[in-house]
Amino acid sequence: MRPALAAFAALLFSAPALALTGNAPPATGWAARPIVMVVDARGDLCTGTALARDLVLTAAHCVTRPVTYEVKAFQDGVAIPVRTIARHPRFDYASYAASRATADVALLKLEAPLPDIVVPAALAAARRVAVGETLTVAGFGVTLAGTPHGLGIPRMAKLAVTGKPGSLQIRLYDPATRNVSAGLGGCTGDSGAPAFDGDGPLVIGVVSWSTAPQDNEGCGGLTGVTPLLNYRAWLVETAAKFKSPIAP
């Protein structure tokens, strides 16, 4: 990651969450059905994706504190306690805070099933994305950095792949603003949000960080995604151990 991201990662250490800033539309249809809110005992919020009725995918940096966590579906707001947290064994918070790519993925086993209105997503095909492709990000983050505006409301945005995407990191930006001026992108509350591949609930990565335009601190510039390509086997094996199997 670029050095400018170090300050942003330091900010996340005290408030581990990112949101869809800008004038992003409400999440609807297949993009809205799988996403849930991940809330800790201090009230900090991240986004997660249901992969099974009682299994949620999110960013590992969202669930590092020794506190209790709950998951809420936007549709009914009922809090479901998290029974077990599994962070990928190669996730390293020091690397994350230093803006280095790491295995920023985690699975949450819930105490009870999510409501029927939540429709679990599936893993996308195992592949690398290319520059210029479009991914859909959906999350519960704020719409204006540094404020609570829009927090907890599901929104979605189609963002374009930029930079040099690989198996460790994908960078996205608003194709209308191209990281030159403020546009759509992840912000506070969107950490752990899914990046969907294609026109359906197929998760190809999770949101890990964001910047303001031209790599400044904030939101509306780049949205950093941890691709699931290297971690699929772990996800499938861990889900099976939790007795919440998902398709490979």
Distance, CA of 112 to CA of 148 (rounded, Å): 29
Q: What pTM was estimated for this model as a whole?
A: 0.91
Tell me how far apart the terminal alpha carbons of the chain are, to the nearest angstrom.
29
Domain ranges of the chain: 34-120+230-241, 123-229
Beta bridge mates, 39: 45, 70
CATH architecture label of 34-120+230-241: Beta Barrel (2.40)
Confidence (pLDDT) at 15: 37
Largest CA distance in the chain: 46
Query: What is residue 14's predicted lDDT score, i.e. its pLDDT?
Result: 33
Identify the CATH number of the domain defined by range 123-229: 2.40.10.10
pLDDT of residue 9: 35
pLDDT at 12: 35
The predicted structure's pLDDT at residue 19: 52
Tell me the average confidence (pLDDT) per consecutive run of 10 residues in the chain, 248 residues long. Answer: 31 43 81 97 96 98 97 94 98 93 98 96 97 97 87 95 97 96 94 96 97 93 97 98 94
| Local structure of 5: helix, strand or coil | helix
Tell which residue, 19, 7, 35, has the closest CA to residue 149.
19
* The domains spanning 34-120+230-241 and 123-229 adopt the same CATH topology: yes
- Position 23 scores a pLDDT of 67
**Cα of 207 vs its chain's centroid, Å:** 3
Which pLDDT score is estimated for 20?
75
Exposure string of 182-211, with b = 16+ CB inside 10 Å and e = fewer, is bbbbbbbbbbbbbbbbeeebbbbbbbbbbb
Please tell me the predicted confidence (pLDDT) of residue 141.
92
* Contact yes or no for 193/47 (Cβ under 8 A): yes
